[in-house]
Structure 1
Amino acid sequence: MSSVHEASLHEDGEIITRREGEIFVIGLNRPAKYNGFTPKMLREMAAAYTAFEADEGARVALLYAEGKHFTAGLDLPKVAPLMGDNNLLVEPGQIDPCNNVPPYRSKPVVAAVQGITYTIGIELMLAADIVVAASDCRFSQLEVKRGIMATGGATIRMVERAGWGNAMRYLLTGDEFDCATALRFGFIQEVVEPGQQYAAAKAIAERIAAQAPLAVSATLLNSRISIEQSPAAAVAAFHPTQKALMKSEDVKEGVQSFIERRAAKFKGR
């Protein structure tokens, strides 16, 4: 299912946000145009991710889209005049939804995608931490067909996950690929029946939200260090990170819940 929100009447669409318990929900809302991103939506997306990062009660974000399709990509007639500007997606100090430039988010994002998932849609899901896809997804990183280059991270993350040849097969042709291919390449983690992607992604988000927030953030950071610096740098951070975590109330609660054989109630401190 999607959400109870009705389609936006604003021709340039909108990014809608809401809290569902400890989950910060971020929705693309321009279904009449296949959720094609306008400059307004790009800026609102950065604002939404920034609000998620600042919300101390939000432990995980859930990214989804209203309608039958996740997104057809950028609405080029509206976005093209701005392309090349450094602030197209994010203003200084904001969180980049594609997680390419600092400040980086410290909390996880789970994405639910369906139908047409093109260009920035792929880059947003690759920037997320876990992706659930409806089996009707159609993926394409088709910038080369428009005379431009993907600049949201696809040239990095597609190669990183799929390998050079597999990534180039689709980056250089702009050809569509299906869920089976996306799953094989590690672009998505789970495939469900159309209409079930939101519920499945939310279930994963709820499981993440139930874990110790400081440990979740530390795990994200250490994994990023391994990729962006080196495995050795990540190993070097093991001891100081664990030492800091051991001083937290959450560790005490984790140990006590183990002793009492009950679910832990973490507070993030």
Structure 2
Amino acid sequence: MTEPKIITERRGHILLIGFNRPDKRNAADFEMLNALAAAYGELEHDPELRVGLVHAVGDHFTAGLDLADLGPRIGADGLSFTSEGGINPWQVSGEQLTKPVVIAVQGTCLTLGIELVLASDVAVAARSTRFGQLEVARGILPFGGATLRFPRAVGWGNAMRWILTGDLFDAAEAHRIGLVQEVVDDGEQFDRALAIAERIAAQAPLAVQAALANAKRAVRDGDAAAEGELQPALVRLLQSEDAAIGMQAFLTRSEAQFVGR
């Protein structure tokens, strides 16, 4: 039997989502994109899951799109690959993800790989990772969110330097401009990303999701819209079981075991 191109594993409250097409440097074809969207849907819709961790099997994170497979599928309305129940991992259409995603990258991280980093919440890169937003060299534009998120994440000039030239850059540069949050020795990126995901998963999940939602609201709709939701969100959270658990843990100086209610 052919191995799945996206592999998933539950580890406590974390869903591991792995690119598994190493013989093609994890280039994404339609089957892989569809399975990735399904995995994001599983993360979103399962109340027991609190954090996603995206990683890749093999030496490379992704070489980008498999244009030989996907090119003929791009129609008048663009490219659609999300089935019912799935969520577009790049968050540029359809249902939006409400849970945090940590991502670990290594080797080659091109085009949609960078855009997946930008659509995630915390990124860890192996030291030898090479990044490239190559679309303009292929006669197309980034369509997975780089034009929106790259300038916000790293500043206009830093984003345009790499988007408009298609040049490759290294992990040190990715860290300097803020594309990734940590750079670790090769082979350590998954373990470090998992440690961060576990730390997030140990916090009160409703509070994590509320904080994430408010930050995303500010980005999408402006500070005033996000400000208007702060106090109502606080009131809702204070009525949760987790708020009581957190207060009790504070008073007893013990570690809180949150239940997500």
TM-score (norm 2): 0.96
In the TM superposition, residue 99 of structure 1 has moved relative to its aligned partner by 1.5
Q: Counterparts of 1:210 and 1:86 in 2: how far apart (Å)? A: 39
- Any idea what the Cα deviations from partners look like across 1:109-151, whole Å, max 9, x if unmatched? 0000001000111111110100000001000010111111110
Letter in 2 for 1:131: A
When structure 1 is superposed on structure 2, of 50-59 and 81-90 the one drifting more is 81-90
In the TM superposition, residue 90 of structure 1 has moved relative to its aligned partner by 2.0
> Does 2:194 align with 1:202?
yes
Letter in 2 for 1:107: K
Q: Counterparts of 1:9 and 1:140 in 2: how far apart (Å)? A: 30
Is the CA contact 2:38–2:85 (under 8 Å) kept in the aligned structure 1?
A: no
In the TM superposition, residue 161 of structure 1 has moved relative to its aligned partner by 1.5
Q: Counterparts of 2:148 and 2:85 in 1: how far apart (Å)? A: 23
Q: Find 2:175's aligned residue among 183, 187, 198.
A: 183
Q: Counterparts of 1:147 and 1:129 in 2: how far apart (Å)? A: 29
Q: Paired residue for 2:131?
A: 139
Q: Find 2:62's aligned residue among 71, 81, 85.
A: 71
Q: Find 1:83's aligned residue among 65, 74, 95.
A: 74
Letter in 1 for 2:168: E
Q: Counterparts of 1:60 and 1:164 in 2: how far apart (Å)? A: 30
- Any idea what the Cα deviations from partners look like across 1:11-42, whole Å, max 9, x if unmatched? xx611111011110100001011001011001
- Any idea what the Cα deviations from partners look like across 1:174-203, whole Å, max 9, x if unmatched? 100111111122110000001000000000
Q: Paired residue for 1:160?
A: 152
Q: Counterparts of 1:24 and 1:100 in 2: how far apart (Å)? A: 22
Q: Find 1:103's aligned residue among 95, 103, 112.
A: 95
Q: Counterparts of 2:94 and 2:211 in 1: how far apart (Å)? A: 18
Gaps of at least 5 residues in structure 2 are none
Is the CA contact 1:93–1:103 (under 8 Å) kept in the aligned structure 2?
A: no
Q: Percent identity?
A: 50
User: 2:168 is paired with a residue of what secondary structure?
Assistant: coil
Is the CA contact 2:73–2:79 (under 8 Å) kept in the aligned structure 1?
A: no
Q: Find 1:215's aligned residue among 207, 212, 215.
A: 207
Is the CA contact 1:100–1:152 (under 8 Å) kept in the aligned structure 2?
A: yes
In the TM superposition, residue 102 of structure 1 has moved relative to its aligned partner by 3.5
User: 1:177 is paired with a residue of what secondary structure?
Assistant: strand
User: 1:104 is paired with a residue of what secondary structure?
Assistant: coil
TM-score (norm 1): 0.93
> Does 2:28 align with 1:34?
no
Q: Paired residue for 2:140?
A: 148
User: Would you say how many aligned residue pairs link Structure 1 and Structure 2?
Assistant: 260
User: 1:19 is paired with a residue of what secondary structure?
Assistant: strand
Q: Find 1:258's aligned residue among 242, 250, 254.
A: 250
The CA RMSD measured in Å over matched residues stands at 1.4
User: 2:150 is paired with a residue of what secondary structure?
Assistant: helix
